[in-house]
């Protein structure tokens, strides 16, 4: 292929929207959120979450250590959420299977008219949360089924649905913990006005986040300038270790030389003492 043709190639992207089907109201509420009105406060939905996360990702590319920290924190929260929802789904499935008689066959359940929503964001954390949203849909369907066939009382049904929805919404709202200040790792090292403002808003950071060594595997790459700085620091660490290793070797060599000299000096003494002992033994 000619170079001119290569330059004309566009970026790779989906030819159409990814779509998901939501069968239950709780899952749809989590997706949509709620618009703010004069009487009610707004609730952040999944698209709004992803929009804010995209801003966090951009700040990571600009070397903001707080963005790196909060991105990593969100990822860990989604991992914990995944574990909790897996347990919820497993528990309700097991509960139904253990309580229905062997002769009863339950049909597959779902919505006759599910809501199809397009996924129009490019965020890894967003997609991880979408998977959990679809899991919530399955949990709600199983809970409604257990209630419908008389296994689960209304009180437990509402408590379970509220608990699951609250758990997911808590993770979504964690994105508000990050505040954009435009601070960089160089600012933090200089402890300038931007750094002090960031500390006031979001507290102190661990050294790993300040140095860029502790971060999420899914986070966007750091800027080239930061990577070069980290590379120089790594080279300096290697050089320091090499110097320390050389000094240890010098000490070890000195100790070996000292031991050899002692052996040389003490050997005649030991031989003389051995001869004296033999003479005394022979005389006796």
Q: Where are the domains of the chain?
A: 17-221, 223-284
Q: Are 151 and 96 in contact (CB under 8 A)?
A: yes
Predicted confidence at residue 273, as pLDDT, reads: 62
Length of the chain: 284
Please give the DSSP secondary-structure letter assigned to residue 174. Answer: G
Closest residue by Cα to residue 59 from 280, 267, 226: 226
What is the model's pLDDT at position 9? Answer: 64
Q: How far is CA 146 from CA 94, 134, 164, 167, in A?
A: 11, 19, 16, 21
Residues 178 and 18: their CA atoms lie apart, in Å, by 28
pLDDT at position 180, please? 94
Q: What pTM value is reported for the model?
A: 0.75
Residue 18 bridge partners (DSSP) = 119
Is the pLDDT at 24 greater than 90, yes or no? Answer: yes
The Cα 175–Cα 67 span in angstroms is 10
Core vs surface per residue 9-27: b (16+ CB within 10 A) or e? eeeeeeeeeeebebbbebb
pLDDT tens digits, 50-105: 999 999 999 999 999 999 999 999 999 999 999 999 999 999 999 999 999 999 99
Q: Where are the alpha helices (DSSP H) in 100-184?
A: 124-148, 154-173
Which of the listed ranges 40-44, 122-126, 177-181 does the model predict with the highest average pLDDT?
177-181
Highest mean pLDDT among 9-13, 61-65, 246-250: 61-65
Q: What is the pLDDT of residue 115?
A: 93
Cα 118 to Cα 12, 75, 115, 134, distances in angstroms: 19, 23, 10, 13
Give pLDDT, residue 278.
Answer: 58
| Per-residue pLDDT, 279 | 58
Burial profile 96-112: b = 16 or more Cβ within 10 angstroms, e = fewer: beeeeeeeeeeeeeeee
Q: Is the pLDDT of residue 123 over 50?
A: yes
Nearest to 126 by CA among 36, 62, 31: 31
Q: CA quadruple 267, 268, 271, 273: dihedral positive or negative?
A: negative
Element (H, E) at 281: helix 224-283
**Tokens 């070397």 correspond to what residue?**
63
> Residue range 144-167: average pLDDT?
95
For the chain, percent of residues with pLDDT exceeding 70: 76
Distance CA 166, CA 21 (A): 21
Cα–Cα distance for residue pair 266/51, rounded to 1 Å:
80
């Amino acid at each position: 292929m000619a170079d001119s043709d290569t330059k004309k190639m566009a970026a790779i992207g989906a030819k159409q929207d990814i779509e998901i089907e939501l069968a239950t109201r709780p899952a749809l509420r989590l997706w949509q959120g709620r618009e703010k009105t004069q009487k009610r406060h707004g609730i952040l939905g999944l698209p709004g979450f992803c929009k804010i996360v995209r801003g966090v990702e951009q700040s990571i590319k600009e070397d903001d250590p707080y963005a790196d920290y909060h991105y990593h924190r969100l990822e860990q929260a989604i991992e914990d959420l995944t574990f909790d929802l897996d347990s919820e789904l497993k528990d309700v499935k097991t509960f139904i299977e253990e309580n229905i008689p062997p002769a009863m066959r339950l049909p597959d359940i779902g919505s006759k008219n599910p809501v199809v929503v397009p996924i129009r964001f490019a965020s890894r954390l967003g997609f991880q949360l979408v998977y959990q949203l679809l899991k919530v849909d399955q949990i709600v369907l199983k809970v409604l089924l257990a209630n419908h066939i008389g296994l689960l009382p209304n009180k437990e049904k509402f408590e379970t649905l509220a608990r699951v929805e609250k758990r997911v919404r808590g993770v979504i709202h964690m994105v508000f913990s990050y505040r954009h200040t435009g601070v960089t790792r160089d600012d933090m090292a200089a402890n300038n006005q931007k750094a002090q403002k960031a500390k006031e808003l979001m507290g102190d950071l661990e050294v790993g986040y300040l140095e860029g060594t502790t971060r999420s595997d899914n986070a966007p790459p750091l800027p080239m300038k930061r990577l070069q700085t980290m590379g120089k620091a790594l080279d300096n660490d290697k050089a320091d270790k090499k110097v320390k290793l050389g000094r240890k070797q010098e000490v070890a060599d000195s100790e070996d030389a000292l031991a050899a000299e002692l052996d040389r000096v003490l050997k005649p003494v030991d031989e003389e003492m051995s001869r004296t002992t033999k003479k005394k033994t022979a005389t006796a």
